[in-house]
Amino acid sequence: MNKKQILGIVIFIVLILVIVGIKALSGKEIDITGSNLTTVYVATGGGKEDFLADEDVLKILRKKYKLEVVFDNWSNGKTVQLPLIREAVGQGNSQIVSDISNGDSSYTIHSPGVSTYDALFTSDQRFYDYYKLNPNKENNEADRYSVKGGSLTLNTPIVIYSWQRIVDALTTEGIVSEVDGVYYISDMNKLMQYILDGVKWSDIGIPELYGKINIASTDPVTSSPGATYYGLLLSTLSEGLVTDENISENLPKLKQFYIKSGYMNNTPADLFERYLKTGMGGQPMIVDYEKSIIDFANSNPDGFEQVKDEIRILYPAPTIWNSHCYAYFTENGKKLYEAFDDKEIQQIAWERYGFRTGITGGSYDVSSIGIGVPQTITSTVSSLKMDVYNQLIEYLKNGE
């Protein structure tokens, strides 16, 4: 062995000792190659893409939990209609992707060679609840994985965004009340009746606004946020308990409400942007998620400073959660589910993206937002089941 070989061996040994020393001092496992990471594949509904792509979240998952997560985008409806395999969304086995794109519908989650998932992360509780049921073969629903566990993971309530001038008028009308700096719609039925009766803005003391009182929302027929909002309206009309008797009585009212609402956006992001850009004259009141304003304040602090003194958040009492629900099928999927309980991850979810966690929305310091947001959300109605939503949406589309 020559001197160069001996020197090379010595340098290699020194490098190993340095790495071992660093590991001992830091108390943390160092992974140079990434070979000790477990990959978790998740079929993922929309509305949380930025949070799941957050570099700090991914770093925590890698360093603390040794997880490398792949989030594939799925629409909620397709999770029960298509086989929940990666090839169904153009990922995984290229030959199977080609077969599917050429019309081969024979593949299932049990087919050899397909790329399966460890978990499903829906953006609507009704699809989470529905996935756990046996597939309805009469509707050509695909075979499903056995759900081993999971729950509501990220939550944000339905709210109504408005402006100070309008909130003052609605307070005078006895529709809105203020508690500890937070505005609540304490008489939603009265507000709905104003809209059904065609009451004008001028009738409640706002002559500068043209036309009739209205609340803009996304279309419940094509949009999950819109459907959630109309589910809240149905629960309100039904006094919190939807039955076969009262749903037949209340659906015609909702159909009339739907018709009077006029043009609707298909995406909440577009609606919220119009609300901010056109002001009180363009969008007096809109329906959206609470998380939208927190996400906006974080991503555009200068823009938020310009509008925060005039905008107002109205919380229907009760409101309804939009819940992103996680269902796991494997032990790897369970590891990720448990990692979402990490306090650092939960703090990022709230502070940067406006997602609450826990039954009443978690424990956060809401005062830093600088606008009326309640510490907890306690007055809520339960999410409606899939069959009720289907009946509601079908009536809005085709009912007389």
Interior angle at CA 44, CA 160 and CA 333, nearest 5: 125
What whole-number percentage of the chain has pLDDT above 70? 89
Half-sphere exposure (CA, 13 Å, Cβ side) for 351?
12
Q: Report pLDDT for 200.
A: 96
Q: Report pLDDT for 25.
A: 45
The pLDDT of residue 397 is above 70: yes
Confidence of residue 376 (pLDDT cuts 50, 70, 90): confident
What mean pLDDT is predicted for residues 296-312?
92
Tell me the CA end-to-end span of the chain in Å, nearest whole number: 93
Q: How far apart are CA 276 and CA 283, in angstroms?
A: 8
pLDDT tens digits, 195-245: 999 999 999 999 999 999 999 999 999 888 899 999 999 999 998 888 888
Calculate the CA dihedral of residues 35, 37, 39, 42 and round it to 10 degrees.
-160
In a domain, 98, yes or no: no
What whole-number percentage of the chain has pLDDT above 90? 75
In a domain, 254, yes or no: yes
Q: Report pLDDT for 368.
A: 74
Tokens (6 digits) for 21: 């020393």
The boundaries of the domain holding residue 305 are 156-321+371-398
In a domain, 317, yes or no: yes
Query: Which residue would you say has higher pLDDT here, 153 or 357?
Result: 153
Q: Report pLDDT for 17.
A: 58
For 341, the 3-state DSSP assignment is coil
In a domain, 104, yes or no: no
Q: How far apart are CA 349 and CA 336, in angstroms?
A: 15
Query: Which residue would you say has higher pLDDT here, 34 or 262?
Result: 262
Query: Which residue would you say has higher pLDDT here, 324 or 18?
Result: 324
Count structural domains, the chain: 1
Q: Report pLDDT for 360.
A: 46
Q: Report pLDDT for 28.
A: 44
**Distance of alpha carbon 245 from the chain centroid:** 31
The pLDDT of residue 379 is above 60: yes
Q: How far apart are CA 111 and CA 24, in angstroms?
A: 46
CATH number at residue 315: 3.40.190.10
In a domain, 139, yes or no: no
Confidence of residue 264 (pLDDT cuts 50, 70, 90): confident
Mutual angle of helices 244-260 and 188-197, in 10-degree steps = 50
In single-letter form, the type of residue at position 165 comes to R
Q: Report pLDDT for 245.
A: 86
In a domain, 151, yes or no: no
CA separation, residue 117 to residues 88, 136, 219 (Å): 12, 21, 31
Query: Which residue would you say has higher pLDDT here, 244 or 281?
Result: 281
What mean pLDDT is predicted for residues 3-17?
55
In a domain, 141, yes or no: no
pLDDT tens digits, 328-337: 999 999 999 9
What mean pLDDT is predicted for residues 81-101?
97
The pLDDT of residue 26 is above 80: no
**Please, what is the average pLDDT of the chain?**
89
**Which range is least confidently modeled, 35-49, 261-275, 293-307, 382-396?**
261-275
In a domain, 1, yes or no: no
**Distance of alpha carbon 10 from the chain centroid:** 55
Q: Report pLDDT for 12.
A: 56
Tokens (6 digits) for 321: 């959660």
Tokens (6 digits) for 283: 């969008």
For 119, the 3-state DSSP assignment is strand
- Read out DSSP for 199-238? -BGGGGT-TTS-SB---B-B-TTT-HHHHHHHHHHHHHHT
The model carries a pTM of 0.85
| Burial class (CB within 10 angstroms; exposed 0-12, middle 13-18, buried 19+) of 85 | buried
What residues contact 4, with CB distance under 8 A and at least 6 apart?
A: none
